[in-house]
């Protein structure tokens, strides 16, 4: 019966997947659905470890038919290495055009964003990327690296990037949003990068695909 599924939504918030064997068995069951094109997984607050994240990435990479993938692994224990081990196998999914990833609250540092950017460059069919990276330990350097690599993703037309409650400076926020706006293929952009105690910057825009933004160059 699983072979007939083309779309799957699995909501397992607060289920406690700290047991790596339990996590492996779950991931194996998901990967047995070999004809999926759309997959949404919500694993919010499940105490998933770095090892559990690696299992998830490895098993998802076996579903070669996937075109749309959304994963919420918010408020777990995967850390930066876990994020890298999750995303690198997923990059093998060459049919993937839509990727949404929520890894807020996982003690991520900037090296994980550098690895994300390097990985995204190899995913040549990606058209939409939505990243939720709030409440981590990411600094300016990590954000700069990610944005520069996203610029090299040749098919991207939609970017949503949320980085509230990190270690990002207010000054970088403006530079990043200007840099993103210069991506001449974008149709939609949403960026929330910096939040103070009193206010936050929320930037979004729809672009004409023929608008090449002939403003001054903004470099980091």
Q: Quick one: which of 214, 91, 193, 206 has its CA closest to 144?
A: 193
Q: Quick one: which of 42, 118, 54 has its CA closest to 82?
A: 54
User: Read out DSSP for 48-88?
Assistant: -BHHHHHHHHHHHTT-TT--EEEEE--SSB-HHHHHHHHHH
Lowest mean pLDDT among 29-43, 60-74, 102-116, 185-199: 185-199
Per-residue model confidence (pLDDT) at position 194: 66
- Write down the domain spans for the chain: 2-206
What's the pTM value of the predicted model, to 2 decimals? 0.86
Tell me which of 217 and 109 has the higher pLDDT.
Answer: 109
Judge: domain 2-206, CATH 3.80.10.10.
Answer: yes
User: Residues 55-77: what's their mean pLDDT?
Assistant: 97
The rounded percent of the chain whose pLDDT value lies above 70 is 87
**Which residues on neighbouring strands pair with residue 191, listed in sequence order?**
161, 203
Q: Which pLDDT tens digit goes with each residue over 116-144?
A: 999 999 998 999 999 999 999 999 999 99
Give the integer Cα–Cα distance in Å for 82 and 203: 29
Q: How many C-beta neighbours within 10 Å does residue 110 have? A: 21
Give the integer Cα–Cα distance in Å for 25 and 5: 19
Per-residue model confidence (pLDDT) at position 219: 43
Q: What confidence category does residue 189 fall into, taking pLDDT thresholds of 50, 70 and 90?
A: confident
């Amino acid at each position: 019966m699983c072979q007939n599924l083309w779309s799957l939504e699995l909501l397992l918030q607060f289920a406690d997947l700290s047991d790596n064997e339990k996590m492996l068995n779950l991931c194996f069951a998901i990967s047995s659905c070999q004809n999926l094109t759309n997959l949404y997984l919500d694993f919010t607050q499940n105490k998933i470890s770095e090892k559990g994240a690696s299992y998830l990435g490895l098993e998802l990479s076996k579903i070669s038919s996937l075109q749309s993938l959304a994963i919420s692994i918010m408020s777990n224990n995967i850390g930066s290495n876990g994020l890298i081990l999750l995303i690198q196998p997923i990059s093998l999914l060459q049919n993937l055009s839509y990727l949404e990833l929520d890894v807020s609250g996982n003690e991520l540092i900037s090296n994980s964003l550098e690895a994300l950017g390097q990985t995204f460059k190899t995913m040549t069919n990606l058209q939409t990327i939505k990243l939720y990276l709030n409440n981590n330990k990411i600094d300016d350097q990590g954000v700069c690296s990610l944005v520069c690599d996203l610029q090299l993703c040749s098919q991207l037309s939609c970017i949503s990037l949320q980085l509230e409650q990190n270690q990002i400076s207010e000054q970088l926020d403006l530079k990043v949003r200007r840099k993103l706006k210069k991506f001449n293929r974008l149709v939609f952009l949403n960026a929330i990068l910096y939040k103070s105690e009193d206010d936050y910057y929320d930037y979004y825009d729809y672009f004409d695909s023929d608008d090449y933004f002939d403003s001054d160059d903004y470099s980091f």
